[in-house]
Structure 1
Amino acid sequence: MYYSKLRAKARESLKGNWLIAIGLFVLTTIIFTLPDFIFNPNEYDFSWRDVAVILTTWLLTPITVGLTWAWIDMSRGKSISFGHLVHPFQTIFAKTIFVSFLQGLFLLLWTLLFIVPGIIKSFSYMMTFYILRDRPELSPLEVITESRKMMNGHKGEAFVLGLTFIGWLLLGVVTLGIGFLWIVPYISVTFAHFYDTIREEYEAKHA
């Protein structure tokens, strides 16, 4: 019931917003394919082109953050626009880059220790970009720590919520990827509602 309510809320949020939601997803996808297209990395030998792709993609992290903020605002009934994608560049560019670096580093270290802890930690840190929307004053380490605390007791719920979309993901594959134009925004807004739900619980406990 809990998961169906979150999905229902997402569908309600997307009513009248499908066009902009799909547009944001498509534009973000295009932007993140550009480094690979421009530098044309060697498929077999690691070279400077591969490094260029990695660095450029990393520097584009604020776009991912901006897209996450768009999903959050949509879940809260606010209007969204393509300006969401550039907003983090204008406000907390350096912080988003450093947060992304620390998050990736921590996940790498946990994964090197064991695969399973790495997967678990990925759920612990999954609210990092969401929290940046509401608590931009936090330091990179603080926002990651806040995500870990907020997800305490909710990692299993996030995993199960993701599993409820397996059928939709298979539909996206069957439609040769076309279905993902609707599926990705649907999943993303659902998780934005999930964030708001656990955030309210977390803030109530720490009030």
Structure 2
Amino acid sequence: MTEEQISIRRVKLTARKQLSDNFFTVFKINIFMIIQMMINVWAIILGTILAFYLSTHSSQTLVNNVQPNYLTMILQHSLILLVSWSTLWTIVDQFQHPKEPVKFKRVFQIITNGSFWTTFLLALVQNILIWFWTLCFIIPGVVKYFAYSQTYYAYKMDLLFKRRQQSLTDYITISRRVMDGNKLQLFKLEVSFLGWHLLGLLSGGLAYIYVAPYLNASRVVFSSQVFNRAMGRLKG
């Protein structure tokens, strides 16, 4: 019997309920992600303006001389991933203990929990693997991006229950296994926020005050459902 797919509608309804019940708390948790997304919006706006300026002032030589530094890009993306993980972990804590107030310092747990370098190395390994797959054309890289998307949750569960896998790549393997059959649903969830991202762009990033908490809560709800189903299959 084929297992019913995770309902994107129910995921988003659950996330919205979390927002309506605890918006100020969720806003505090997401503050760094909100700032990051605002920065991304202005980077897009300024980059578009710069590209238009260069294209109209015959600066093709300058454009050709700008070569991407892939190592720097991977390191930057890994640090950005750490900010995202710390935010998502704090949302996990809130979901685990909804009646307990979440202190703002929990947002820094990726630094204060004593496993910063291990977590950074895990994020770095994940980004390197996705980068290598992307070299094999864009589609394999996108597929692996979704396949490895639950690494943060697998690692968080081990931190909560004071466990450790034998190697860091085991967490990526766990993510890949639980996402087997679920990648398309996560893709649909992310695509369903395209309109919100457009609103964020048109508002100069201000809309992300609401959109970032909504998006991240939806991601955590999705993750919890994916892992609950995986645990249910193991028990079955």
Task: Measure how far apart 1:26 and its partner are.
Answer: 2.6
Alignment of structure 1 residues 81-100 onto 2, 5 Å: 81-89=103-111, 90-100=113-123
Structure-2 separation of matches of 1:76 and 1:15? 17
Relative contact order higher in (CA < 8 Å, ≥ 6 apart): 2
2:89 counterpart (42, 45, 69): 69
Structure 1 stretches of 5 or more lacking a match?
A: 34-42
TM-score by length of 2: 0.72
1:128 corresponds in structure 2 to 151
Structure-1 separation of matches of 2:79 and 2:215? 25
Cα pair distance change 1:63/1:149, threshold 3 Å: same
Does the alignment pair 1:80 with 2:80?
Answer: no
2:178 counterpart (150, 171, 174): 150
Is the 1:10–1:190 Cα contact (8 Å) retained in structure 2?
yes
Structure-1 separation of matches of 2:97 and 2:36? 26
CA deviations over 1:62-106 (Å, ceiling 9, x no partner): 443221111222334534232222222223212211111110110
1:14 counterpart (19, 35, 43): 19
Structure-1 separation of matches of 2:226 and 2:179? 8
Does the alignment pair 1:159 with 2:187?
Answer: yes
Structure-1 separation of matches of 2:116 and 2:102? 20
Partner-residue secondary structure (3-state), 1:91:
coil
Is the 1:66–1:87 Cα contact (8 Å) retained in structure 2?
yes
2:44 corresponds in structure 1 to none
Does the alignment pair 1:104 with 2:132?
Answer: no
Q: Larger Rg: 1 or 2?
A: 2
1:23 corresponds in structure 2 to 28
- Letter aligned with residue 153 of structure 1: G
Cα pair distance change 1:2/1:58, threshold 3 Å: closer
Q: Percent identity?
A: 24
Structure-2 separation of matches of 1:67 and 1:95? 17
1:119 corresponds in structure 2 to 142
Structure-2 separation of matches of 1:191 and 1:107? 19
- The aligned length equals 196
Task: Measure how far apart 1:14 and its partner are.
Answer: 1.8
Does the alignment pair 1:200 with 2:198?
Answer: no
Moved more, 15-24 or 187-196: 15-24
Task: Measure how far apart 1:22 and its partner are.
Answer: 2.1
Structure-2 separation of matches of 1:29 and 1:160? 22
Is the 2:78–2:127 Cα contact (8 Å) retained in structure 1?
no
Structure 2 stretches of 5 or more lacking a match?
A: 1-5, 40-62
Moved more, 161-170 or 103-112: 161-170
Superposition CA RMSD, Å: 2.9
1:169 corresponds in structure 2 to 197
TM-score by length of 1: 0.81
Is the 2:32–2:83 Cα contact (8 Å) retained in structure 1?
no
Is the 1:69–1:133 Cα contact (8 Å) retained in structure 2?
yes
- Letter aligned with residue 65 of structure 1: W
- Letter aligned with residue 3 of structure 1: I
Partner-residue secondary structure (3-state), 1:178:
coil
